[in-house]
A and B are shown apart, each in its own frame.
Chain A
């Protein structure tokens, strides 16, 4: 971890203390994610930072941000683990001006943790299996596509489980193409429909899903 990382950890603890204080005053449980957008500064030591359609290097590149640029981060999510200027992290930042995600490993935010709310309203939402995101699933509201990533060469496949508004589920979306790959599934949703999905890894041959599934999130039609 770089010098910046150590400084930012201190900042994070200070921030948590503030949240705990305000939460107890308000009589509600502390919520780990901040309530409003944050600002970050790209630091890549020269190269432009790639903006991707989903929080994974396997997702399509949709633009870039020059090194040293300050940007607004409207929300953050978890995705493929990336090592960069500020260490290794699974956090990705959503940049509304670009309409996509960049790895938080190259973004100076003053914190190793989340500085903006968890993404729920972005067109693409993401779920990560626990343990550093070995399996990942993203849902794109624009085209109802569920993309399942296998981020780790651990012998297991990436798999998403999903439930639909017709009372069925789980349905399984297996990506058996190996580490570094992704597979796209189209979810058939009616008007006003929803899909609730999580991300896991598992053994396709036995159809056994590991106990590392994420908590899950709702994607809307």
Chain B
């Protein structure tokens, strides 16, 4: 049987092998006879990728999320899951509903894209086997051409499960954002015992689909993370740790990438259009928030060239190297041709602005030892093509959003950072981590370092997130910090704003509030 799907193949094969191999319910064509399961909504609910006409609703059935086989304690059968969307929290007015099947081949994940109205708040839930899920809150994007007065989003990154408690999400839930942007390192492939407040059940490095599924599930057992997913739709992109540390287009191999991408899709509120195909996943995408904002969510991992060697200026500046791949680069530059919104938020993983450690431009194969090879500083020609691309196309208000470094940073962007009088062409907001790095004392760079980098405005080494409020007139960024993320009791933890910066529409440059 060629070109048949996996589930049909499994069931057909089992039937051919005889009824004694699998119990009778596994042979049924309908999932009505699926076996009884304990409460399966242990990973919560989520929504994501809001459009004017839909938003993705997500859950994953896993009564025993930590089971080492990655199957979450689910029997090997097909399960029908009912879903409902309502305009009120009590589901008095259900506006959309349906049933979707899930099975082991898709990790018992559920992704629904209901037909909804633009610019509205909705509530959703799932039911299966007599169990009912928690209620999630979500919203659709405003209608194209509408003029929203404001959009508020929280952005964060890097949540190593073992390193600290997820108090940052408590702050995000309290802020009631329209959107949450997660900029990568949702889970970590390696365990890290030092300073751990909790541990993975399996501390070996994850490499297989079962491993990745189980690891995602363990992250999702966190109640603060579940609450943040249930509070607002998310726009997610991955960085390296969802696959392998500092990975790139050439490594690791296709088998591991395929496993990692499949598990990523299964565990994220992504549209069916983002389903992986073998060792590739179509992740980069755009969102429009009326005439107010546009979000370009980039993938800086899947298509990038391998890192240059330490100090190798020649390679880091090579015009033949890329951070995003030529197709994504052209897609982004083409989008810059049109200006449908006041603000262009370019959401991606690694820091875009330069961080110069020695005040020297450097040259040759050894002169750039201060360059951060994994960030855009290691791919300067690729960065220049994008920055010059928005300058040439007169993009009105570009703001790059970054994660990765477990620090808050605020910086203005220049075409040439070594020329301290070069015009400012945009700004960058970098969010710190939820937990990665654990509890730290702030360690700002030296005054000499700041003198090399006058475009950089702010640094803070604490855990937290960035809260952004955009209006037609301004974008305000509140850098939020958690007092000590290794303390479990939320009553003994404070979440506060360590600094705020504002960008005025039509004017370049960050100003401290």
> Would you call A22 and B17 a contact (CB within 8 A)?
yes
Report yes or no: B198 in contact with A26, Cβ–Cβ below 8 A. Answer: no
Which residues of A (191-218) have their CB < 8 Å from a CB of B? 192, 194, 196, 198, 215-218
Partner of A165, one of B10, B67, B201, B221: B221
Question: Pick the contact of A218 from B23, B73, B222, B225 — CB < 8 Å?
Answer: B73
**From A23, A28, A36, A220, contact of B63 by CB (8 A):** A220
Task: Identify which of A53-61, A76-84, A85-93, A166-174 touches chain B.
Answer: A166-174
**Residues of B close to A196: CB separation below 8 A:** 64-67, 201
Q: Which residues of A contact B222 (CB under 8 A)?
A: 167
Contact of A168 among B18, B20, B39, B198 (CB under 8 A): B198
Contact assessment for A218 and B67 in the assembled complex, using a CB-CB cutoff below 8 Å: yes
Interface: B338 (CB within 8 A): no
CB interface residues, B 5-56, toward A, < 8 Å: 9-10, 13-14, 16-18, 20-23, 38-39, 42
Please give the number of chain A residues whose Cβ is less than 8 angstroms from any Cβ of chain B in the complex: 24
> With A22-B21, A169-B201, A192-B39 given, is the CB distance from A163 to B66 under 8 Å?
yes
Contact (Cβ within 8 A) B198 A166: no
- B393 contacts which chain A residues (CB < 8 A)? none
Instruction: Give Cα A194–Cα B218 distance, bound, in whole angstroms.
Output: 13
Shortest Cβ distance from B23 into A: residue: A35
The verdict on A14 contacting chain B, using a C-beta distance below 8 Å, is: no
CB distance B9 to A27 under 8 Å?
Answer: yes
A2 at the interface (CB under 8 A from B): no
Scoring B residues 151 to 181 as 1 if CB is less than 8 Å from chain A, else 0, what string do you get?
A: 0000000000000001000000000000000
Chain A's nearest CB lies how many Å from the CB of B62? Answer: 10
Residue in B closest to A22 when the chains form the complex, CB atoms: B17
Bound state CA distance, A166 and B222, in angstroms?
A: 6
Q: Does B129 make an interface contact (CB < 8 A)?
A: no
Confirm or deny: B68 has a beta carbon within 8 angstroms of a beta carbon on chain A: yes
Please determine whether A166 and B64 come into contact, CB atoms closer than 8 angstroms: no
A193 smallest CB distance to B (angstroms): 9
Return the contact of B20 from the options A27, A35, A166, A192 (Cβ within 8 A).
A35
Interface membership of chain B positions 311-324, coded 1 if the CB is closer than 8 angstroms to chain A and 0 otherwise: 00000000000000
In the complex, B512 has a CB within 8 A of chain A = no
Docked Cα-Cα span, A167 to B10, in Å, equals 34
Q: What per-residue 1/0 map shows which CB atoms of B61-104 lie under 8 Å from chain A?
A: 00111111000010000000000000000000000000000000
Give the CA-CA distance A166 to B165 in the complex, in Å: 11
Contacts of A167 in B (CB 8 A): 166, 198, 221-225
Which chain A residues lie closer than 8 Å to B38 at the CB level? 192, 194, 220
Q: List 9 A-B contacts (CB under 8 A).
A: A22-B18, A26-B16, A35-B23, A168-B488, A169-B199, A170-B198, A194-B63, A218-B63, A218-B65
Chain A residues with a Cβ under 8 A of chain B:
22-23, 25-28, 35-36, 163, 165-170, 192, 194, 196, 198, 215-218, 220
Query: Can you list the 6 inter-chain pairs with the closest CB atoms, starting with the nearest?
Result: A218-B64, A167-B222, A192-B39, A196-B66, A26-B13, A22-B17
13 further A-B pairs in the complex, CB-CB below 8 A; given A26-B22, A194-B38, A196-B67? A26-B13, A35-B22, A36-B23, A166-B223, A167-B166, A167-B225, A194-B42, A194-B63, A196-B64, A216-B67, A217-B67, A218-B63, A220-B39
